[in-house]
C-alpha cells in the first residue's frame, strides 16, 4: 500500500475522507491508485489539484460508506469498486443503535477495496459482472438469519459462477473470533476472506485458460476429487497430522482448490505487506520485480519483526504461519501464474 498525503503535508490513510489536520476533503482515484485532495466546485462536483473533475460515489452520497471517486465524464453513478456489488447489507434496518448493518458494510467495503487495490497494483485488471456477465465479478454481502439463538438460514462465505458471497457476520468481531476458535484457525480476517475468494474467481474465469494451468495438479493435486465430499471429510476428521509440512493452513488440506485459494491469499498478503513495509521505511526491499524466492526470503525476515512487535504490544503474532519448502514451491507457482496472466492482459 502506498503512503498517502494531503496537500498540507499530513499523512492520511486509505480509508480517509478528510484530512485530520486541515479538514480538506479526500477521495481515492482508481486511475492513479492514489488518495487525492479535492475541492468542491458545486453541490455535486469536485476538482483535484491537477484540474480533473470528479463526483462522489453514489454509495457515499446515499449511505456515507465510500471514499472512491467517479470521474466527471463517467456515465456510472457508482465508483469502480462499488460497481462490483450485487447485494449489500440491508441499510433500512434502523431499529438498533448503533446501526449494525451500516458498520458491517463499511468494514466489508474497506476490505473489498483493499483487495481490489492489491490486484490492480500488481497488474491484475478485473471487470464487474454487470459489464461482463460471462467472466466478470460480483459480490453478495449477506447475513445468516437467526431464529432466537438458532441459525435459521445459513449463509456460507464462498464462490460460485462469478459471484463471491461474504457472510456479513464476518465483519462482526465477536462472530468472527467465535468462528476462528470453533474451526481452530490460526488467523481469520475479513481481508483474508476476500483474497481467498478472489483466488477462486480468478482461477475459474481466467487463470485456468493459461498455459501454466496445465501444471496445477503438480503442485496442488487433482481437482477432480469431489469437492463437497472432500470438505465433508475435512470437517469430520480434520486435517492430516503433518499438514504444516505441506499446507499454509489446515483448511488448505481439504481440497486442491482450497489449497490454491489459501496459497494465493498468502501470496497477496506477502506482496502487500512487503510493499507497505518498504514504503513506510520498515524494510529496504520492494516486492516489485523480485523473484518468488527473494520475495519469500524478504517476507520471512519481515514477518519475524512484525511478530516480535506484536508480542511486545501484547497481541497475537501478525503472521502465525511457517513457510516450508513445499509451501514455497506452491507460492512460486502462484507468482508464475500471476505473471503470465498479467503479461497476457498487457498484450490485449
> Is residue 147 predicted with pLDDT exceeding 60?
no
Instruction: Give mean pLDDT, residues 181-193.
Output: 93
Contacts of 42 (CB under 8 A, 6+ apart): none
- Least confident window among 58-67, 95-104, 142-151, 277-286: 142-151
> Is residue 241 predicted with pLDDT exceeding 90?
yes
For the residues of 214-230, what is the DSSP string, one character each? GGHHHHH--TTS-HHHH
Q: Looking at residue 145, what is its pLDDT?
A: 66
What is the residue-averaged pLDDT of the chain? Answer: 92
Q: Looking at residue 251, what is its pLDDT?
A: 96
- CB burial class (10 A; 0-12, 13-18, 19+) of residue 15? middle
Confidence of residue 152 (pLDDT cuts 50, 70, 90): low
Task: Answer whether 26's CB lies under 8 Å from 38's CB.
Answer: yes
Q: Looking at residue 203, what is its pLDDT?
A: 96
Instruction: Give mean pLDDT, residues 295-314.
Output: 96
Residue 53 pairs with which residues in a beta bridge? 47
Q: Looking at residue 148, what is its pLDDT?
A: 52
282: number of CA atoms within 13 Å, CB side?
Answer: 17
At residue 227, φ and ψ (nearest 5 deg) are -65, -55
> Is residue 229 predicted with pLDDT exceeding 60?
yes
Q: What stretch of H or E contains 139?
A: strand 138-142
Q: Looking at residue 223, what is its pLDDT?
A: 75
Give per-residue pLDDT as tens, 81-91. 999 999 988 77
Give the angle 110-35-292 at the CA atoms, nearest 5°.
Answer: 70
Give per-residue pLDDT as tens, 95-129. 555 578 888 999 999 999 999 999 999 999 999 99
Instruction: Give mean pLDDT, residues 225-236.
Output: 90
Please give the share of the chain, as a percent, with pLDDT higher than 70.
Answer: 95
> Is residue 94 predicted with pLDDT exceeding 70?
no
Q: What is the pTM for the complete model shown? A: 0.92
Q: What stretch of H or E contains 326?
A: helix 325-347
> Is residue 141 predicted with pLDDT exceeding 80?
yes
Q: Looking at residue 314, what is its pLDDT?
A: 98
What distance separates the 2 farthest-apart alpha carbons in the chain? 63
Q: Work out the angle between the directed axes of helices 325-347 and 256-279 (0-180°, nearest 10).
A: 80
Instruction: Give mean pLDDT, residues 262-277.
Output: 97
Amino acid at each position: 500500500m502506498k503512503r498517502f498525503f494531503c496537500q498540507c503535508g499530513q499523512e492520511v490513510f486509505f480509508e480517509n475522507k478528510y484530512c485530520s489536520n486541515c479538514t480538506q476533503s479526500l477521495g481515492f482515484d482508481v486511475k492513479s491508485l492514489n488518495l487525492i485532495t479535492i475541492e468542491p466546485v458545486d453541490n455535486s462536483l469536485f476538482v483535484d489539484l491537477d484540474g480533473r473533475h470528479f463526483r462522489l460515489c453514489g454509495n457515499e452520497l446515499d449511505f456515507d460508506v465510500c471514499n472512491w471517486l467517479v470521474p466527471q465524464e463517467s456515465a456510472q453513478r457508482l465508483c469502480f469498486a462499488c460497481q462490483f456489488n450485487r447485494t449489500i447489507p440491508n441499510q433500512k434496518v434502523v431499529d438498533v443503535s448503533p446501526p449494525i448493518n451500516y458498520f458491517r458494510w463499511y468494514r466489508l467495503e474497506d476490505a473489498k477495496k483493499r483487495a481490489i487495490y492489491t490486484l490492480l497494483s500488481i497488474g491484475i485488471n478485473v471487470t464487474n459482472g454487470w459489464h461482463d456477465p460471462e467472466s466478470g465479478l460480483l459480490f453478495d454481502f449477506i447475513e445468516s438469519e437467526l431464529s432466537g439463538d438458532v441459525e435459521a438460514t445459513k449463509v456460507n462465505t464462498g464462490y460460485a459462477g462469478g459471484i463471491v458471497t461474504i457472510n456479513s457476520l464476518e465483519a462482526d468481531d465477536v462472530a468472527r473470533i467465535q468462528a476462528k476458535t470453533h474451526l481452530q484457525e490460526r488467523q481469520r480476517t475479513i481481508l483474508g476472506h476476500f483474497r481467498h475468494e478472489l483466488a477462486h474467481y480468478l482461477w475459474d474465469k481466467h487463470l485456468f485458460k493459461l498455459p501454466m494451468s496445465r501444471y496445477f495438479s503438480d503442485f496442488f493435486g487433482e481437482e477432480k476429487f469431489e469437492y463437497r465430499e472432500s470438505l465433508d471429510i475435512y470437517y469430520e476428521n480434520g486435517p492430516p497430522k503433518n499438514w504444516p509440512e505441506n499446507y499454509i493452513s489446515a483448511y488448505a488440506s481439504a481440497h486442491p482448490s482450497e489449497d490454491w485459494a489459501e496459497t494465493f491469499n498468502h501470496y497477496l498478503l506477502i506482496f502487500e505487506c512487503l510493499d507497505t513495509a518498504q514504503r513506510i521505511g520498515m524494510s529496504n526491499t520492494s516486492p516489485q520485480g523480485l523473484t518468488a524466492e527473494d520475495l519469500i526470503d524478504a517476507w520471512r525476515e519481515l514477518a519475524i519483526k512484525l511478530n516480535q512487535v506484536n508480542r511486545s504490544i501484547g497481541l497475537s503474532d501478525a503472521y502465525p504461519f511457517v513457510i516450508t519448502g513445499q509451501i514455497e514451491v506452491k507460492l512460486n507457482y502462484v507468482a508464475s501464474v500471476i505473471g503470465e496472466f498479467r503479461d497476457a492482459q498487457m498484450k490485449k
